[in-house]
Structure formats: structure tokens, C-alpha cells
Chains A and B, each alone.
Chain A
Amino acid sequence: MLEVRHLKKSFGTLTAVNDVSFSLRAGELVGLLGPNGAGKTTTVSMISGLVAPDEGSVLVGGAPLAGDTDPKKRKIGLVPQDLALYDELSANANLRFFGALYGLSGTGLEQAIERTLTLVGLADRAKDHVKNYSGGMKRRLNLAAGLLHDPDILLLDEPTVGVDPQSRNAIFDNLEQLKAAGKALLYTTHYMEEAERLADRLVIIDGGRVVADDTIAGMRARVPSANGERVSLETVFLALTGRSLRD
């Protein structure tokens, strides 16, 4: 469904992403893990066409993404790390705008709004201004906005930052539903327990490079356990990326 090949991106002298490759199949959720500044957001930005890679390519359904207006961009849904919403507008008005960017209009648009708002549990608050939403509601609306045009590939950049366990669980349920529906999901996070619960596979990057690409069981097997107990994913993560601070 999605294939990332040898992506490279530099900002000035800093190489943010250096030769990153991985792939993502339909019905699969891949966790993209890495310390702060590892290059996760930059990678997601290159996949969604916001940032042009210096080298490498992004293949959607086997064909490379070409240019801003490539219709294949419609197959990708982006849930940005920031709460990318218009606070002054209602949830409805926000979604109407985001849907129209993908050419949705009329009843098609209204149905899509209804469907996604119901999915994230905000249907009864559709007319409220986003500025009156709680942090968790905003996060859920942020997710809904990325789902509106029914993309096959969903790029989620830390979609649960700053939400309570209730909202977090609701989002997890949504993602599992989407996975069951055959969507391909790329999930960026720092939280190991989230990766453990959701991911089929993990790609760990550090300093712009892929340091591991494996199933969760495979990851665990990489670090020998001292007393026969299961190694935690966090131990694996720290073993692979080191303990020094990044920022």
C-alpha cells in the first residue's frame, strides 16, 4: 500500500532524515518510534507531500507520488502532531472546509462529516465551536478531519498527546476499527504501551536513521533478558537508541 524508499532530508547542515525505508500494508498498523528530533515528523511530512525529499521516493499503490496535485494524495490522510483546527469555527464548519479541500461537496460531504463525527463520538457536539472543546475532544476532531475523505493510508503523528485515558481509549478503538476495515496506519508515538497495544510492527528511528524494523516479539528477542522475564519494550527502545538526551 505504502512504500518508503531511501528518504533523505536535510535542513541546512542538519540531516533530519537519512536513508529511511520501510513499507506499510493494508490492514496493518506500524508504529514509528524514536526520541525527540529523531525525524519522525519530517518522515511523515515527506510521505504526505508537505516536504519534498532530497533523495528517495514515496510509493503509493506501487507508483511514486509526483507533485502537489497528484490524485494519489487523496489516498493519504494526515493527522498532524499539532491540533490543526480552526478554534473560532464549529466542528461542522471545520470538517466542511477540510472535506472540500478534497473535492467533497453536497450530500457526499455531509455524510462523510456525519460518519466521522459519529466514529469519534462528537456527533452531538458538531455545532459547538472548537474553542469550547476539551483537549481530548479536539484530539478526536483532529483525527476525524484526517479521515473525512476516506483515505486508504492514515498517517498519525502523535495523535494522543495530552488526552485523558478515556479519550485515548476511544481513539485506540477507532484505530482498531480502521485497521479491521483494511486501512494502512502509520502511528508515531513516544509511548511504548501504545505501540505495544496497537502495532503489528515497529520501525525505530534515531538520528534520522532506521535502527530497527521488526515485530514486537522480534524486538524483544533482540535484548537478552537477565532473569527469564519478558523484557519491556522500553528497555529495548533505550537499548537501541541509547540513554543520552536528544534536545
Chain B
Amino acid sequence: MLLIPLLAMIRKDLLLFLTDRRAVIMSFVAPIAIASFFGSIFSGTEAERARVTVALVDHDGSTISQAIVKAAVADANLNVTSPTADEARKAVREGDITVGVVIPKGFGDSAARAFFGGAQKPALTMWYDPSRGTELGLVRGIMTEHIMSAVSQEVFSGPTGTRVVDDALTNLGQSGLPTDQQRRLQDLLTSVRAFNQSAPAGLASGGGGAPVGGITVPYTVAQEAITSGENVAYNGYAHSFAGMGIQFLLFSSIDLGIGILLERQRGLWKRLRSAPLSRMTLLGGKALSGALIALMTLLVSFGFAMIVFKVSIAGSIVGFFMVAAACALMAATFGLLIASLGRTPGGSRGIASLSVLMMVMLGGAWVPTFLFPQWLQRATLVVPARWAVDGLDAMTWRGLGLSAAVAPTLALLGFAALFSTIAVLRFRWEE
């Protein structure tokens, strides 16, 4: 008896949803389009990771400067061109190139002399695009590595080195150092000269590889992205589809809430209320149909991601459906909340959209929450979308087990209980 009206309410709402082209586009097409876009930004592979564009202008042409250029060209983080100084300056101003580096005449020679202190340090000019300051920092770091490597190799092995050490030995008297320190430096330089004469190799390679001599960065980095398992690449689409899925699932809950307000405005709610049905049945029917539509929104966009972008549920499948269902219930009760607090359909839509956007932003649907400051990461635990995104991430690319789905599911059900309680208490039945 109760089942007939309940099923009829659900069927009617599904029918209304499917006949509303705007709603269908908003629920299925929009999340897929936006999530595909975000996914393509965040899931670039090693090969296509954006390199910093650098213009290297070599006015020196020395062994050292040539070694620097060679090392920079070989660097995977840089995309190096070698235009003239004027061209480089112009390209930076126009935003085509991020940093322009000018190696002045005599740089190699002066840098080698300055290596043991004392001599005037040559200046390296860097022109940069002020809107991309962080990339300037990156280029400075990379250039330091290559310059140190090239200069030290030359000082400790090349023909320049022998000359530099000889000069340094000759000029030791004018260095202004105390005599005992002068004597120690003399010992060091004499040893370097002996070392250079016994290992007469030139600059074997640029900064990388296994240089014959010189100073190098004393470590390398072994990078491994921690995902659901070995050989499973991080799939940026998994996160973006979770985020956008939640966003549009919450948008569908706005439609649910506004739908109830419209039904009230158009007098339809009177028909529903004049039937011998309890208020719980009426709100329950709405919550169920809302949850079904929300679940469809989420599953359709995830299904698309699985087929097209190879997103997989690497964790627990049961856990995934638990989180998804809890999400859908949370969204549906959020819709009831909108209906109970809203007055007019038009006015409520604006406020509801804003709160959904805030919620998904704080929930990490746009930008992952680990980029948030610590206090904000803790604060966003009161945002249901945060639990939804975390739960879906855990069951997809993080590949965690069922136990990792329990907390997000319970949190989402808790929000659903809270929202529905407020909705039941505040619903205006007599309008």
C-alpha cells in the first residue's frame, strides 16, 4: 500500500528529470567535460610535463660556458633555445620565454678564478617574466648545479684549471690572508696541480652522468609516486572525476530542492498533501528519488572515466558503492534542506549554488586538499564534500581496502541524518 505511492513518486521524479534536457546535460555532460579537462591538466606523464622555457645567450664561448650550455640543453626540466641577446629579451617581455640567461664574455675564466675565492665574481644576467617568479627560482637552482659542475670540473682537470691554479699560487701573497692560512692554501693548490697533472682528462660530460672530476650535486633523487600498487600509474582523471562527480551530484540536489519549492508554488504539493500519506512518506519519497538521480550522476561520469580514461576502482568495489550511495543520500537530504530553508525557487537557487561551490572547493574537488594550509585541512573535515572526495579517492587510485571506506561512509551518513533532521523540523507544510 505504502509502496505504490512511494514508487510512483520516484518514477515521476525520474521521468521529470529525464524529460528536462537542461538537467540531463548538467548531470551527465557537464561533469564529464569539466572532469576531463581537469584530469588532463593534472595527470600529465613524465614526457609531457611542462618544461620551463629558457633562452641561453653565450657571449663567452669558453670551454666552461659551452659545458654549461650543453648541460642545460640536456636537462629534462628545461626547454633551451639559443637566440641573440635582443631576441631573448624580447621573447621574455612577450611571454614566449620564461627566463633569459646571458653568459657574459670572460665568464668561464673569471668564474674559475673566483672559485678559490679572492678574484672578482662574474655576473650572470637573468631576465625573467615577473608573472612566473617560481619558475625563475627553479631555473636559478638548475643553473647553479650546472655552473658549479662545469667550473669545478675545469678547475680540477682542464687546461684552464692548470692555469688558474698556477695564477692562484703566484697571487697567494696578495690575497691578504694570514700567513699560516696562506701556507695551507698553498698546500691545497699544489695538491690540485699534482692531481690535474696525473689525470689529464678534459670535460668528459656535462653536469650529469659520471664526471671525471670536479664537484657535483652529491645525491640523486629516486622518485616514485605512491599509488594503488606497483606499475599502476597515478590517474589524475580518477581524482577529477570524483571531484566533479560530487560537484554535479550536489548540483542535482539543488534541482531536487528547487523542484520541491516549485511544486509548492504551483500547488502540486497540495495534491500530494491531500492524499492519505504521512509527511515522512512524502519527504522519504523525495529523498529516495533525489538519491537515485544523484547516484546516476556520479556513476555515469565515473563509468565514462573508466571506459575512456582507464580509471579503475583499484580499492574495494563494495567500498566504492558504499561511499557513492552515502554521497547520494547526503546530496538528497541536502536538497530537502534547501527546500525547507528556501523561500522562492529563484532566490534559493543562487544561495544554494554558492554554498555548493564553496563546499566542493573546500572539499578538494577543484584543488586537492593537501595544497591547503594545515588549519584549513583540519577545518574542511566539517565539509561533507571533503569526505566524499576522500572516500572516492581512497577506493579508486589510492587502492585502499573496504576499511578505508567506513569512515567516509559513516561521516556522509551522519551529514545525511543532520540535514534530514533539520529539513523535517523546518519544512513549511502549511504553505
Interface contact tally, CB-CB below 8 A: 86
Provide the A99-126 mask, 1 if CB < 8 A to any CB of B, else 0: 0111111000000000000000000000
A112, chain B: closest CB distance, angstroms: 13
Contact A83 B267 (CB under 8 A): yes
Let me know if B184 is at the binding interface, CB within 8 A. no
* Residue of A whose beta carbon sits closest to that of B280: A68
| Complexed CA–CA distance, A189 and B11 (Å) | 35
Give min CB distance, A67 to chain B, whole Å: 8
Contact of A98 among B4, B19, B271, B430 (CB under 8 A): B271
**In the complex, what residues of A have CB within 8 A of residue B274's CB?**
48-50, 73, 76, 78
Task: Note all chain A residues with C-beta closer than 8 A to B271.
Answer: 78, 80, 84, 98, 101, 145
Pick from B1, B8, B273, B275 the residue with the most CB of A within 10 Å: B275
- Let me know if B430 and A84 touch, CB within 8 A: no
- Whether A100 contacts B4 in the complex (CB less than 8 A), given A69-B278, A73-B275, A88-B19, comes out as yes
Are B275 and A82 neighbours in the complex by a CB distance under 8 Å? no
A86 to B12, Cβ gap below 8 A? yes
Could you tell me which B residues sit within 8 Å of A by CB distance? 1, 4-5, 7-9, 11-12, 15-16, 19-20, 266-268, 270-279, 429-430
Tell me, rounded to whole Å, the shortest Cβ–Cβ distance linking B429 to chain A: 8
Instruction: Say if the beta carbon of A21 comes within 8 Å of chain B.
Output: no
Of B11, B278, B430, which is in contact with the most chain A CB atoms at under 10 Å from its CB?
B430
Q: B279 to chain A: which residues have CB within 8 Å?
A: 68
Does residue A85 face the partner (Cβ distance < 8 Å to B)? yes
| C-alpha spacing A96/B5, complex, angstroms | 10
Residue pair A103, B4 in contact (C-beta under 8 Å): yes
A68 touches B267 (CB 8 A): no
A to B CB contacts below 8 Å, 15 in the list: A45-B270, A45-B430, A68-B278, A71-B276, A76-B274, A78-B270, A81-B267, A84-B268, A88-B16, A88-B19, A88-B20, A93-B12, A100-B4, A102-B5, A103-B4
Q: Is A97 an interface residue (CB 8 A)?
A: yes
Q: Is the CB of B276 within 8 A of A70?
A: yes
Distance A89 CA – B11 CA, assembled complex (angstroms): 12
Task: List residues of chain B with CB within 8 A of the CB of A74.
Answer: 276
Does A59 lie at the interface of the complex (its beta carbon under 8 Å from any beta carbon of B)? no
B-side binding surface: helix, strand, loop or mixed? helix
Interface status of A51 (Cβ within 8 A of chain B):
yes
* Contact surface of A with B, Cβ cutoff 8 Å: 45, 48-52, 68-71, 73-74, 76, 78, 80-86, 88-89, 93, 96-98, 100-105, 145
A33 and B274 CA atoms in complex are apart in Å by 22
Q: Which label, helix, strand, loop or mixed, suits the secondary structure of the A interface?
A: loop
Interchain CB contact (< 8 A) of A83 among B11, B266, B275:
B266
The distance in angstroms between the C-alpha atoms of A71 and B276, with both chains bound, is 6
Q: Which residues of A contact B266 (CB under 8 A)?
A: 82-85
Give the residues in chain A near B429, CB-CB below 8 Å.
50
- Residues of A near B270 (CB, < 8 A) are 45, 48, 50, 78, 80, 82, 84
- Measured in the bound complex, the distance between the Cα atoms of B187 and A80 in whole Å is 107
In the complex, the 5 A-B pairs of residues with the closest C-beta atoms, listed nearest first: A82-B267, A100-B8, A84-B267, A101-B275, A73-B276
Please give the distance in Å from B272's CB to the nearest CB on chain A: 6
Give the Cβ gap from A186 to chain B, nearest Cβ, in Å: 13
Chain A residues whose CB sits within 8 angstroms of the CB of B20 once the complex forms: 88
Asked whether B5 lies within 8 Å of A100 as measured between CB atoms, the reply is yes
Q: Provide the residues of chain A in CB contact with B4, threshold 8 Å.
A: 100, 103-105
Whether B267 and A93, one on each chain, are in contact in the complex, defined by CB atoms closer than 8 angstroms, is no
User: With a CB–CB cut-off of 8 A, which chain B residues contact A86?
Assistant: 12, 16, 268
CB proximity of B281 to chain A, nearest CB, Å: 8
Q: Is the CB of A101 within 8 A of B8?
A: yes
Cα separation A102 to B5 with both chains bound (whole Å): 7
| Contacts A81-B267, A103-B4; A89 near B19 (Cβ below 8 A) | yes
* C-alpha spacing A45/B267, complex, angstroms: 12
Chain B's closest residue to A129 (CB) is B19
Contact of A89 among B1, B5, B12 (CB under 8 A): B12
Q: What's the nearest-Cβ distance from chain B to residue A46, in Å?
A: 10
Supplied contacts A101-B8, A104-B4, 17 more A-B pairs, CB within 8 Å: A48-B270, A68-B276, A81-B267, A83-B266, A84-B268, A84-B270, A86-B12, A86-B268, A88-B20, A89-B15, A97-B8, A97-B9, A100-B7, A100-B8, A102-B5, A103-B1, A105-B4
